[in-house]
Structure 1
Amino acid sequence: MKEETAIAKNKFLEYLQIEKNYSSYTIEFYQKDVEHFISFMIEQCIETLDQVEYFDARLYVTSLFEQKYARTSASRKISSLRSFFKFLLREKVVHDNPFALVIQPKKGRKLPSFLYEEEMNQLFASCDTSTPLGLRNLALMELLYATGIRVSECANIQINDLDLELSTLLVKGKGRKERYVPFGAFAAESIESYLGHARGKLIGSSEHPYVFVNARGGPLTARGIRYILNDIMNKASMSGKIHPHMFRHSFATHMLNNGADMRTVQELLGHSHLSSTQVYTHVTKDHLRKTYMNSHPRA
């Protein structure tokens, strides 16, 4: 990789972190996508970013399908590179955005996976609340399920963001957007128990404002949360893998199944567009059909 290309890549990553306020998890994907394209440039003997043309962009997309990348992965890479060259155009590193007119492959509509209420209860019951880590794990899961927040948002919660009297949480979401989300009695009880009996023991002499901490007392990262949830899944003897977004998906699905309107769920999830929330209607149709078949006298 030429020095100029490496500098351009690093400036783009700084822009995503500082100006766009993207999470480290999102930035990691952008970095991999840009580096993958730079490897393609080296293979094609393209020496500078300004030499990349529309034909090269099309050739790159073709190579993605030859390498059997899934449509979603190819679409993400194209989107990442379109943003990368848009930034380079702004910074006058290039004179054109070769990915501006590249058509992204249509994504197959993947329905969000979620846990049933019985499965959620099974996960909660698997926590050993006689230990500080068990109290933390229960509070973590209860809050994720009660609010539908993203794992990155959960990792960034600070003590002052919690209002236990009003049972509300100030969530700092994508692009510095803030929203208040309520939570119920189960989450409130588990959080109070964790803060009162476990966090102090875990944090020890460390000093930081983050609510959730790891076994060494430091702030719990998004990656740490994923590890904890997979570990809980294994201990609960449940089949399949769990991922943090399943709590978010379960929150949205259960809210809609129990009569919440779409706009409310959109606001609670922090979705900018209603179309992002509407995917859950496909999941809840199955519930509606079962309710109809069980309830209608002529079904």
Structure 2
Amino acid sequence: MQAQEELLLQNKLKSKLYKNDLFNLLNTLKIQQDQEKYFKRLLQIPLKSPLKCLLCGIFPFFLSFGLLSFDRLYKGDEKLALAKAGVALSWVLLVWISFGGYYVFGFDPSFSSFSIILSAMLSVLWLVNFVDLSVCFLTIKNANLKSLMSVFYPYYTSVLYEQIQSKVQSKHKEALFKHMQNADENELLRLMGLRLKSPYLSLIFSLLPMCIFCGLSLDRFYKGDLKIGVMKLGAFLAVFVCMLFLTPDIRFYAAYGFACLFVFNLVDIYFVYKGICKDNLEKIFQEKA
């Protein structure tokens, strides 16, 4: 490996790894017989920045008063991020139930045991998100090292498959595995550099805004369907304006509009999830240029 290539690799990795880990990685690369192949692989590996991870955690954390934290989303721990979002979603739903009970049945939620449960849940969420943000920040460099060291494994194709297989539907996983088993080095490099979208993240962009704002959904923007996303956002804003500024009779119908939006977005979750898996599959199997 030439000195210029080593310097290029160091510049890419110095902020993503601990110094000792970077030193060990470069030494591991130097003892390989086909250094050029592994050098290209290392340059293609997508790495995460600890600073961006911290920002993705801190800003939502303070803006939502400890309810949300997107550090796990950035790191790529999709299932854990979905679990945290599910807990936050359950808290939001309980708040809606509490206020619904106030307006329908007339009991005051501020003095009920329900409000004590909500406060306790929010405190636990605050503590969990704060601790998890610290853990995520401290371990993201170790996750980067694990991804980089995997290029030296004899069974690297299987490792790469494990990283990609969650982005497609189950019925296509066998075809994906066969494709990767028969792929040459250039095809593996292409697959490593693909920016595939996560179906799990689409659920978060669907459910959280929909339940917090009762009808808003951002999943189409995440998928890339901007026209449909703008139409859904426009429908939400139109109903919201009717609720705020028009007569009580119009507000009554606007409430039905919120309910229809909620149901429509709930059904659209399935099509967005399926569409993201299909888009990922097309990127994977597209003809090489």
Q: TM-score range by the shorter chain?
A: under 0.3
More strand by share: 1
> Which structure has more RCO (C-alpha within 8 Å, separation ≥ 6)?
2
TM normalised by structure 2 equals 0.22
